[in-house]
A and B are shown apart, each in its own frame.
Chain A
Amino acid sequence: MLGREFELESGEKVLREVRMHWFFFLARLLPYLVLAVLPFFLPPVIRLAGPALAPLARFGGWGAPLARVALGVWWLFLWSAAFNIYTRYFLNAWIITSLRIVEIEQRGFFNREVSSLLLNRVEDVTIDTRGLMHSLLDIGDINVQTAGAVDRFTMGNVPAPAQLRDLILAHSAIATGQAGPPLA
């Protein structure tokens, strides 16, 4: 579970912690993988370019020490960028407790917003699944409509959205007194 972003009330329990589906996380990493192997395609391209790039061809290919230094620095940069994606994937979350939904939005480093929505203010929960990949992997967006000042909570590309909607609605009903606590 994420750290002490908020204090739990007495009797409040964390029901679920939700993040974006892993498929989108991997999809965001893909460009970095492509960029990591891209340098290996440079020597053939330089050779094909002919005399225009001849000075670069004398650079020595990726076996040359200076080229390996450049490659190492490039990979270090790419690895850091990929780790940044992972960090943001992990730090962006929805935490559903028995009393509220806490949305933690990490927009970037030192740019963070944590907002809460009480379950007894939930009016409607809708899910939106569009496209083949979303349908196959059971991914969707969840929109939680409230009666409060914050009209709408949206979390995009979450796994098993229908299950999550049912969980929110069930605990919203309990919070508003329209249903009893779930049987153990």
Chain B
Amino acid sequence: MDQPLVPFTSPLAVAAQYGLSAHQLGAGLVLLGLFFWLLFTLTAIYHWLRYSHAALLSLPSVAAHLFVSGVLILFTLDALASL
């Protein structure tokens, strides 16, 4: 029997097909995001400290990046905890 065409599937339904819960899907997403963030942050800090360590803006810029990133990571982890 013909089934109606469903062009989009919910991410949760896709995850369920692979035996993943919503929490596991969220945790995977967060881990992936944090991995790339960490890679970028270490590279950026290296460049700031290596090439502009004498600049007045160097440390405040790195601190601002870490602060904003920290707020976003807390927001994400809070949402993950409530999954």
Give chain B's interface residue range (CB within 8 Å of chain A).
Answer: 35 or more
Contacts from B to A (Cβ < 8 Å): 6-13, 22, 25-26, 29-30, 32-34, 36-37, 40-41, 43-44, 47-48, 50-55, 57, 61, 65, 68-69, 72-73, 75-80, 82-83
Asked whether A73 is an interface residue with its Cβ less than 8 Å from the other chain, the reply is yes
Contact status B29-A69, CB under 8 Å: yes
Asked if A77 is at the interface (CB within 8 A of a chain B CB), the reply is: yes
Closest 4 CB pairs of A and B: A72-B76, A68-B79, A73-B33, A69-B26
> Hey, what's the 0/1 contact readout for A40-61 against B, CB within 8 Å counting as 1?
0000000000001101101100
Interface size class of A (residues with CB under 8 A): 35 or more
> Using a CB–CB distance below 8 Å, which chain A residues touch chain B?
1-5, 52-53, 55-56, 58-59, 65-66, 68-73, 75-77, 79-80, 83-84, 86-87, 90-91, 104, 106, 109-110, 112
